[in-house]
Structure 1
Amino acid sequence: MRDQFSAELLKARSGGALPALLLTALLTAALGKLGAVYGESGLADPGVAAATSHRVLIMAGSCALFASLFGALVVTGEFRSGAIGRTVLHAPGRSVVVAAKLGAATVAGLLFGLLAVAEAATVGALALAARGSGLALDARSWGIAGAAVAVCGLGGLWGAAIGWVVRHQLAAVVGLLVWGTVGQLLVLGQLPGFGRFLPEGAQYALLGDRLTFPEALSVPLGGLLLALWCVLVALAGRTLFLRQDV
């Protein structure tokens, strides 16, 4: 298992997909954070400054979408190229392949999260300083930072799990992208009571983002629900992979 996991980590960091998605995620998130700071008035008020700081850190969780896209590529790339057959041939078993790829995608997701939080703190501090304020680093700030890293880590796992179920690279990537941008907004906006139990609703809950999604569950329930979704889809993908030809 250890050798297989090391091999999957090596595959994950090979090629240009990881740096390209990381750069895109960080640049996109930076623009949103700048908009949040410069669109806020009354930053001289410590309460407003703290709320803006929390908002900036929460936005680090948006990189979970890019982590999920990378997670999907980790799995579907080998189906697209046909290399999955060789991977299975040299692995101790199919279950080991599934677990190793899920683990590698999760590690990549955590990397997305750590860099996203670091960028959020840096961009937020610089933007707030330019507005004559400062980044609040209180207990809630650290809690949000940890939640953002967890959301991105689970995002990588979620994308890989979807990849095991769908297998087709274009379908998995387009599906995650469309749902992560338009689909979730429609469902969460029109059916919040239902959407709060979906993975996206669970992400807002884990981040404690009740400004964007007031109907979100509590933080612990959001984290538990998001992890449960990832496990269920991963188990479904494993079952399909064990039963079908490669």
Structure 2
Amino acid sequence: MSLVAATRSELTKVFTTAAWWILGLVQLVYIGLFAGGFGFLLGALASGRLTGGAGNAPVLPPGLVPSIVYSIATSFGYVFPLLIGALMVTSEFRHKTLTPTFLAVPARGTVLAAKVLAGVVIGLVFGVIGVVSTVLPGAPVLASLGLETGLGSSDTWALLGRMLVAFALWTLVGIGVGSVVRNQVVAIVVVLAFTQFVEPIARLAGGFVEALEPVARFLPSAASDALVGASALSISLPSAADPLPWWAGGLVLLGYAVVFVVLGAVTTWRRDVD
């Protein structure tokens, strides 16, 4: 079977199951509510409606608000493409569908390459969902507060485009994680524990401990935020260290994906399938 046919097969596996649209729906609602509420709060601060004890002066530059609100999709929603990427691999081990896959495509490297290509497509789908989940509620909220939505700016559209790239890369990282940790339950626990607890704490520590600042910049989510060019976490996670350039952030996140995929290819992917 050719790589194109194998990739088509991998896409069929994903889109004929409920996992992708359930995660997509949860992402849409979760990020949408977050974007609407956060957009109202930041918009009120930027418009001076919430003074914070500073009279009627804005306490947040209005020009920064749209990019921060739209970047909520990647700042808080990157766990969704990461999970779907991990499930693309671990579900094969859990439901023992990898055996017929290897019988149809004996070259295991081709199967893994097909999952990577399919992961890019699926990551872009989740990226579109992420963009919609922030722009659709966020832009009207900002407009209702008398602020610019930024949708007329090429910089905003470039940011949204980089968000799509970030989602695709996060899906590849998930595929790599699933290739290394093939137990589905363990993989999900690892993903949730790292994204919701370990990494936020590490980034917070990097904002206050000078020695940790250079390390914090190279954490996966920090690299993702640098790639996008904006982050809702920048308000709550101060850091004296300058973020990476957008292209460097993308390369770092790609590096994580490559390392995990290669590690899975030389370990788990070569083992006998039960």
Instruction: Pick the TM interval, shorter chain.
Output: over 0.9
On the 8 A contact 1:49/1:135 being kept in 2, the answer is no
Which protein shows a greater Rg? 2
Quote the Cα distance in structure 2 between the aligned partners of 1:227 and 1:4: 23
Percent identity for Structure 1 against Structure 2? 30
**1:147-166 per-position Cα deviation (integer Å, ceiling 9, x unaligned):** 11111111111101100011
Amino acid at match of 2:33: L
CA distance in 2, matches of 1:198, 1:42: 30
**Distance (whole Å) between structure 2 residues aligned to residue 50 and residue 196 of structure 1:** 24
Contact 2:35–2:133 (8 Å) recurs in 1: no
Deviation at 1:168, TM superposition (A): 0.5
2:110 is the alignment partner of 1:106: no
The CA distance in 2 between the partners of 1:92 and 1:49, in whole Å, is 56
Deviation at 1:242, TM superposition (A): 4.3
Q: Which runs of 5+ in 1 are unaligned?
A: none
Higher share in helix: 1
Give the structure 2 partner of residue 136 of structure 1: 150
What per-residue deviation string (whole Å, max 9, x for no partner) do you get for residues 10-54 of structure 1? Answer: 001112101110011111111221222221223377x84331111
What is the TM-score with the length of structure 1 in the denominator?
A: 0.93
Query: Where does structure 2 lack aligned partners over 5 or more consecutive residues?
Result: 49-57, 206-211
* 1:54 has 2:67 as partner: yes
Let me know the Cα RMSD of the aligned residues: 1.8
2:10 corresponds in structure 1 to: 8
1:43 pairs with 2:56: no
**Where does structure 1 differ by over 6 angstroms across 4 or more consecutive aligned residues?**
none
Q: What SS does the corresponding residue of 2:272 show, helix, strand or coil?
A: coil
- The code of the aligned residue for 1:180 comes to T
Alignment length (residue pairs): 245
- Counterpart in the other structure of 1:30: 32
- TM-score of the pair, normalised by structure 2: 0.84
Residue-by-residue CA offset, 1:120-150 (whole Å, 9 max, x unaligned): 2221121112223341132321221111111
Partner of 2:88: 74
* Matching residue of 2:199: 184
2:267 is paired with a residue whose SS is helix
